[in-house]
A = this chain, B = another copy of it.
Amino acid sequence: MRYLPILLIVFLTSLQGFSQSEDEQQIKSIYEVAMTKGKAYDWLNYLSNQIGGRLSGSIQAELAVAYTKSLLDSMGIDRVWLQPVMVPKWVRGTPEFAYVETTPGLTTDLPICALGGSVATPLGGIKAPIVEVKGIEELASLGKDELAGKIVFYNRPMEPTLISTFDAYSGCVDQRYSGAMEAAKYGAVGVIVRSMNLRLDDLPHTGAMGYGNSAISSRIPAAAISTNGAEFLSTTLKLSPNAKFYFKQNCKTYDDVASFNVIGEIRGSTYPNEIMVVGGHLDSWDLGDGSHDDGAGCVQSMEVLRLLKETGYRPKRTLRVVLFMNEENGLRGGKKYAEVSKGKNENHVFALESDSGGFSPRGFSFDCSDTILEKAKSWGPLFEPYLIHSFVRGYSGADINPLKDTGMVLVGLRPDSQRYFDHHHAENDTFEHVNKRELELGAAAMTSLVYLFDKYGMVETP
């Protein structure tokens, strides 16, 4: 067996397409600057605490456009511009209110919030019997007989045994997005959806819902209920199946308004026509201040450019930071950016998105060829000192996905996911839940990956 380790070394070395010491040194510099002179945390502080929640079409969203553009302007990069995009404008209105009534007059208030895009209830609210289901597929078996005139309560919890909380989210979010549209087909008058949260607490979590092409008149209001509220309601319905549910919300959709993607670029020294994008989304929901979703991704993306500049690395390819508008309720920014880029025949070779929270980075997920994924994995030893271990095939990010094209490399930053949905789209997605070091480590990991792909190219032999 003595020859095996030698062959193994040869084999592994052939996989490692990098010059160890120079890259080690560059990545060390990136991390050192990020951890000692990082700007991401201060930027996020301003974005979260001075501006706050940045729902598309809101004043805050426009303040965030102006603030981040001014940051990019101050960075001394080659070009900064705003890319116009029309975005939906949905407004929550006054605080929502809900209760369950087991016998007339005996009520318990429950914490709800309107889902983004929902219609309002009638002015006086809706009061109706409520039917609990575990998913959309149950509606057909209940049918109009059981559902017409009632409120549907979607109560399938996120699956706790899934290690990635994003997998658990994917397994539940159909209730939130399509629940109202589907229930309306059976004559339901409203829907209440268990919050997409693995933790039991009292905070309702909003998020996008849609009505598809259904007639305006058939659209019914939808709200999220906190996980504790969902548990309480479920228990109540077991004891009092005839309980009625009341809720009231006065949210409203206005005409689309003008907004912007914020873009900054360092022109490539050698291949200026090959574009690498790094980005996050600038809009957020309105309940918290959007620190994790996705203020973190925005400041990390801007920090990528700054860290490369600070460490004296001039990219060979054109490197663009794009802060996309309207990921949460329309994806208009991501679509617009891809549309404009295709119209101009721009050659995007790489895109990296951070939109999974500002938690400790664990690795990256890659949407690319096997060859490129193997190449990225071969850089594992460079990332090992920084505890970046995951190089897996997977989804990249909603905003960069419209750019997808043959031969392109799409990547998503993958932070530790355990706490993400405790805060996601809820009033506790706030700055104090972001750890400075975790945010900085994410920015440094992103910068290191961008550096390696820029240096060695998007094909096996650059």
Which residues does chain B contribute within 8 Å of A11, judged by CB atoms?
1, 4-5, 8
Task: Give A368 Cβ to nearest chain B Cβ, in Å.
Answer: 21
Copies of this chain, how many?
2
Which residues does chain B contribute within 8 Å of A199, judged by CB atoms?
435-436
CA A437 to CA B159, docked complex, whole Å:
12
The reply to whether B422 and A386 contact each other, CB–CB distance below 8 Å, is no
Task: Point out the residue from B31, B416, B419 that lies within 8 Å of A161, measured CB to CB.
Answer: B31
Task: Give A9 Cβ to nearest chain B Cβ, in Å.
Answer: 11
Q: Tell me if A215 is interfacial: C-beta within 8 Å of chain B.
A: no
Q: Tell me if A385 is interfacial: C-beta within 8 Å of chain B.
A: yes
CA A387 to CA B166, docked complex, whole Å:
14
The reply to whether A390 and B387 contact each other, CB–CB distance below 8 Å, is yes
- State the majority secondary structure of interface residues on A: helix
We find that the number of chain A residues with CB closer than 8 angstroms to chain B is 34
Which residues does chain B contribute within 8 Å of A160, judged by CB atoms?
35-36, 437
CA A150 to CA B386, docked complex, whole Å:
42
Task: Point out the residue from B10, B360, B390 that lies within 8 Å of A416, measured CB to CB.
Answer: B360
The reply to whether B438 and A163 contact each other, CB–CB distance below 8 Å, is no
CA A36 to CA B161, docked complex, whole Å:
7
Which residues A419-448 have CB closer than 8 A to chain B?
419, 422, 435-438, 441
- Of all A-B residue pairs in the complex, the 9 with the closest CB atoms, nearest first, are A389-B389, A35-B160, A418-B437, A360-B416, A35-B161, A418-B438, A4-B11, A32-B161, A360-B418
A-B contact pairs, 10 of them (CB 8 A): A4-B7, A4-B11, A7-B7, A8-B11, A31-B163, A36-B160, A163-B386, A163-B387, A199-B436, A387-B390
Chain A: residues with CB nearer than 8 A to chain B?
1, 4-5, 7-8, 10-11, 14, 31-32, 35-36, 160-161, 163, 165, 198-199, 360, 362, 385-387, 389-390, 416, 418-419, 422, 435-438, 441
